[in-house]
Amino acid sequence: MDLEGFKASARGHYWYGGLLDWRTWVLTPWRLFIEGRSSFSFIGPVFLAFLPLTLFAAESPFPFGWVLAVFGASYLGWSAQSSMIRLLIPALPLFCLYTAQSLDRLGKRWGGWLPWTAVLVVLWNVSWNAAMLNEKEVPSVVFGYETQPAYLSRPHHGYPVPFSQLAWYAARLPESSRILVLGDERRYPIPRDTLTFTSFDRNFFLEALAAAGSTEGLREALARKGVTHILFTAPEAERLLGAKLGALPADRIELLAAFWRDRLEELERDRHGGTLYRLRDAGERTAVPPGVRPSPPPIVELALRRR
């Protein structure tokens, strides 16, 4: 597991100053569950709406009090590390179990209005999520009003790669191509084989860079993996690879710059920060005129900026 990469991904979503900032504990829940950080990281106000039920935890029969305690510990651990909603999802079923038994128990005491109020809260939450999906124009594709290529032809939040770029890959790259994706962890519907790394994985490229004795050695390591192209996505690399690149020794950054200059050929660059390179064959190098010092590629600029 690449723990440092995972932490970089999680901490990149802090609203405020981290664990010791009071706003992290007081304002973050409101921002996430009521306002919603974005359409792809939002579950609605239902959690905060049912939170007052925790005041009756002492009356809960076994084991629901413990269920709530485990959820509380999970929530504190999550809040101390991240504000990414998806990292809290494994704990939410525990809160749902506690909420369900509380509504059942208190509903018998207070009358039938409590369960119906809960139903209204849930419907309210569903309406919020439906509005979010509508903002992303998802229903137009689901119900057949728009084709998938037409929908993907426009950049969307959480899906920045335009369909036109993917069509370029399909038209220009051999079917045997294998693209190493650096920066982004998502492969998208790229119409070629890809090699990606999540925050939980060891990064093969950085390990090969650390072990290589020359640019040719690094090229051979990639070729043995079947890599023919590299797609570098600058925005995600800033968040997920920046710390690791900045920690590289000076000689590794020099090797990275030389490899990018001599062993890769830039093929296509999109307006969203993605650049596609071709891995050159053995013995094939970029001809640099004498006295000309090429500007560093984006990945080297990132490494130097984060040192």
**Mean pLDDT per 10-residue section of the chain, whose length is 307 residues:** 51 55 73 64 76 87 91 85 78 91 82 78 80 73 81 66 70 92 78 83 91 94 95 84 90 94 89 85 68 76 90
Classified as helix, coil or strand, 172 is helix
| Same domain for 183 and 86 | no
- The order of strands in the sheet holding 193-195 is 193-195, 178-182, 229-233, 274-279, 264-269
Closest CA to 305 of 237, 231, 230, 259: 237
Residue 218 lies inside a defined structural domain of this protein: yes
Residue 35 lies inside a defined structural domain of this protein: yes
CA distance 148 to 247: 41
| Same domain for 188 and 80 | no
Q: Give the pLDDT of residue 50.
A: 85
Classified as helix, coil or strand, 38 is strand
Residue 170: domain span: 150-305
| Same domain for 158 and 300 | yes
Q: Residue 183, by phi and psi: left (phi above 0), alpha (psi -120 to 50) or beta?
A: left
H/E stretch holding 165: helix 163-172
Sign of dihedral through CA atoms 107, 108, 111, 115?
positive
Domains in the chain: how many in total? 2
> What is the domain-level CATH number for residue 178?
3.40.50
Chain centroid, CA 247 distance in Å: 21
In whole angstroms, how far apart are CA 208 and each of 16, 184, 189, 211? 36, 18, 27, 5
| Same domain for 106 and 209 | no
What is residue 296's DSSP assignment?
P
CA distance 145 to 155: 18
| Same domain for 173 and 105 | no
| Same domain for 191 and 228 | yes
Residue 140 lies inside a defined structural domain of this protein: no
Residue 189 lies inside a defined structural domain of this protein: yes
| Same domain for 236 and 293 | yes
Note the pTM of the prediction, 2 decimals: 0.67
Classified as helix, coil or strand, 156 is strand
Closest CA to 235 of 302, 164, 305: 302
CA distance 95 to 78: 14
Q: Give the pLDDT of residue 12.
A: 47
Q: Is the peptide bond before 63 cis (omega within 30 degrees of 0)?
A: yes
